């Protein structure tokens, strides 16, 4: 899904107000900005498929881990 980071800020606030956790919103921001369709299509023209798959998997793993860590930090405060 293509999401610009500037566009996601008001969407993220609306999602948080509706009850979505802040960690899930952070994971959406990281995953949406890091592995968007234009980004992946641009990188696919420059890199081999193995490297591109590693990139996308890494972005999604980082987004998931960051979401959990952010939720953990928010609950501790």
Between CA 36 and CA 1 the distance in angstroms is 6
What is the pTM for the complete model shown?
Answer: 0.81
Question: What integer pLDDT is reported at residue 6 of this predicted model?
Answer: 79
Question: What integer pLDDT is reported at residue 55 of this predicted model?
Answer: 93
Question: What integer pLDDT is reported at residue 24 of this predicted model?
Answer: 94
Q: Where are the alpha helices (DSSP H) in the chain?
A: 5-17, 22-34, 37-46, 49-76
State the CB neighbour count (10 A cutoff) for residue 74.
12
Show me where the domains of the chain are located.
5-76
- The string of pLDDT tens digits covering residues 6-31 is 788 888 899 999 999 999 999 988 88
The answer on pLDDT for 72 being more than 90 is yes
**What is the chain's mean pLDDT, rounded?**
89
Structure tokens at 15: 């999602």
């Amino acid at each position: 899904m293509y999401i610009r980071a500037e566009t996601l800020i008001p969407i993220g606030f609306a999602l948080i107000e509706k009850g979505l956790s802040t960690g899930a919103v952070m994971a959406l921001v990281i995953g949406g900005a890091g592995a968007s369709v234009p980004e992946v299509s641009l990188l696919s023209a420059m890199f081999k498929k193995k490297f591109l798959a590693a990139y996308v998997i890494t972005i999604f793993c980082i987004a998931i881990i960051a979401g959990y860590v952010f939720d953990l930090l928010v609950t501790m405060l």
